[in-house]
């Protein structure tokens, strides 16, 4: 029996893949437990790789400024230390800026909230006095006489069980928090190793790809990975720059209109603006709440100011700072943020925009190659293409053209005959 030996590994992989897929479908619960255990095992290293990727953006810029140092190891180590030091300084600056402001805000709110609650209560009392039917409806809804007071013993029993359960949950939370701290330390250490050996890791990855895949496929994978790296790096730098610009705009505008809580609100909006499209609105809600307790009229002015600045930021700043950095139109940015938020929350919003940009670039390259291979006329690809006729219209025009040519030929022959006579 003749068979191709090169086909055997492919058949083996196909059979193994079918077996694994069948097991995943038939025993979903056990597969879920296994995948969860695997994820708990590798999650510190995945998080560490993500931290290294983010840190690599400023570290690469710092390393370029240190080209005068000839020793590569020394240059790499100094760039890592300076990147970590810069991050710590930024965090300390934010904390130093916000902690006194948060303390003052809490003291101010503690002093003003009782008066604010009293104003709201007086307003509700006047509203109920002016609307007796509302008062009657609320009293019927909260009919105390119909309450079954004999079940209070059962209520206290249930509360006791809930307190016991909460104590057990607190122990589990402490254990989970300890495990998270340990995983975070491992992730930070792994990210430092990745940054220190990133060139070696990249070279090893290329060697593995070229050793197991055809050269053409390996070239394409490396090209896509480089495109992904450039897109994600540009997105991170562009998003951070856009958040800083937005925070400064709010600080200047609030200072012009003499609004309170300028450092707290502007930094909050800058931090929440790191989440694309929807993050700044969360900062707006928080800022409006702080100002609302102090002065409701200024809170309305703040919301109006936010809408104006958001329009300027969304139409002028964001498309030029972030949109051009990832090469993705605003419509697809909105689609990516919506889908990413539905699938994976805030992390999905941050991840989906550069990922969509990569897919958008690859789809555009594929479309251009297909159009070039099929020799589609360029005039059909313009913004205002010529009117495309149906096959019936084309056939009718061709018949009319042939009939006209025959009539012209017949008329020409008649003229020649007349000349001969």
User: Cα separation of 373 and 375, whole Å?
Assistant: 6
Q: Does the predicted model carry a pTM greater than 0.75? A: no
Determine the length of the chain: 421
Domain contains 185: yes
- Is the Cα torsion angle 39, 42, 46, 48 positive or negative in sign? positive
Exposure string of 149-178, with b = 16+ CB inside 10 Å and e = fewer, is: eeeeeeeeeeeeeeeeeeeeeeeeeeeeee
Structure-token pair, residue 120: 């709201």
Q: Which of 162-166, 391-395, 406-410 has the lowest mean pLDDT?
A: 391-395
Residues 189 and 56 in one domain: yes
Domain contains 167: no
User: Cα separation of 9 and 77, whole Å?
Assistant: 44
pLDDT at 286 over 90: no
User: Cα separation of 341 and 335, whole Å?
Assistant: 10
Q: Which domain holds residue 192?
A: 16-112+178-196
Phi, psi of 277, rounded to the nearest 5 degrees: 65, -60
Determine the pLDDT at residue 324: 59
Residues 252 and 189 in one domain: no
Domain contains 127: no
Residues 183 and 276 in one domain: no
Cβ–Cβ under 8 Å, residues 192 and 80: yes
Residues 192 and 271 in one domain: no
How many domains, in total, are found in the chain? Answer: 2
Residues 85 and 192 in one domain: yes
User: Cα separation of 374 and 367, whole Å?
Assistant: 11
Chain segment 303-339, per-residue pLDDT in tens: 888 888 878 876 777 666 665 556 677 677 777 777 8
Residues 58 and 190 in one domain: yes
Residues 86 and 21 in one domain: yes
Domain contains 215: no
Residues 358 and 250 in one domain: yes
Residues 192 and 340 in one domain: no
Calculate helix-pair angle for 296-312, 279-294, nearest 10 degrees. Answer: 160
Chain segment 5-55, per-residue pLDDT in tens: 667 777 777 788 788 778 777 777 877 888 888 888 888 898 888 888 888
Domain contains 186: yes
Domain contains 345: yes
User: Cα separation of 242 and 64, whole Å?
Assistant: 23
Q: What is the mean pLDDT of residues 336-362?
A: 79
Domain contains 314: yes
Determine the pLDDT at residue 203: 92
Residues 288 and 184 in one domain: no
Residues 192 and 253 in one domain: no
Chain segment 142-167, per-residue pLDDT in tens: 554 554 545 545 555 655 566 666 66
Angle at the Cα of 305 from the Cα atoms of 301 and 307, rounded to 5 degrees: 120
Other Cβ atoms closer than 10 A to 415: 10
Residues 184 and 291 in one domain: no
Domain contains 284: yes
């Amino acid at each position: 029996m003749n068979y191709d030996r090169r086909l055997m590994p492919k058949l083996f992989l196909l059979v193994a893949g079918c077996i694994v897929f069948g097991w995943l479908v038939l025993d979903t619960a056990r597969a879920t437990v296994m995948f969860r255990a695997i994820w708990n095992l590798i999650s510190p290293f995945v998080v560490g790789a993500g931290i290294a990727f983010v840190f690599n953006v400023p570290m690469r810029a710092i390393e370029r400024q240190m080209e005068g140092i000839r020793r590569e190891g020394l240059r790499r180590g100094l760039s890592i230390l300076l990147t970590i030091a810069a991050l710590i300084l930024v965090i300390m600056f934010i904390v130093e800026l916000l902690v006194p402001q948060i303390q003052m805000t809490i003291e101010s709110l503690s002093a003003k909230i009782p008066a604010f609650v009293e104003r709201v209560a007086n307003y509700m009392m006047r509203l109920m006095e002016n609307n007796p039917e509302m008062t009657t409806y609320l009293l019927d809804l909260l009919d105390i006489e119909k309450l079954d007071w004999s079940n209070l013993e059962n209520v206290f029993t249930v509360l006791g069980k809930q307190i016991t359960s909460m104590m057990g949950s607190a122990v589990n939370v402490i254990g989970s928090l300890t495990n998270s701290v340990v995983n975070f330390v491992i992730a930070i250490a792994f990210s430092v190793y990745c940054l220190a050996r990133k060139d070696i890791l990249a070279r090893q990855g290329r060697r593995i790809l070229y050793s197991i895949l055809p050269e053409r496929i390996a070239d394409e994978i490396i090209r896509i990975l480089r495109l992904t790296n450039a897109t994600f790096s540009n997105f991170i730098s562009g998003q951070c720059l856009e958040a800083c610009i937005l925070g400064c705009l709010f600080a200047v505008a609030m200072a012009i209109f003499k609004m309170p809580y300028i450092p707290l609100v502007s930094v909050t909006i800058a931090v929440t603006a790191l989440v694309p499209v929807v993050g700044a609105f969360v900062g707006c809600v928080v800022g409006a709440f702080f100002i609302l307790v102090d002065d409701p009229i200024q809170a309305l002015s703040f919301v109006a100011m936010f809408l104006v600045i958001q329009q300027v930021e969304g139409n002028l700043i964001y498309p030029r700072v972030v949109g051009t950095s990832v090469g993705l139109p605003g419509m697809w940015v909105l689609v990516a943020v919506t889908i990413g938020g539905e699938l994976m929350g805030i992390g999905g919003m941050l991840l989906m925009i550069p990922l969509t940009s990569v897919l958008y670039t690859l789809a555009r390259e594929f479309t251009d190659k297909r159009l070039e291979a099929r020799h589609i006329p360029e005039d059909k690809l313009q913004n205002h293409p010529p009117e495309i006729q149906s096959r019936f219209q084309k056939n009718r025009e061709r018949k009319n053209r042939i009939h006209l040519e025959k009539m012209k030929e017949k008329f020409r022959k008649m003229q020649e005959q007349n000349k001969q006579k």
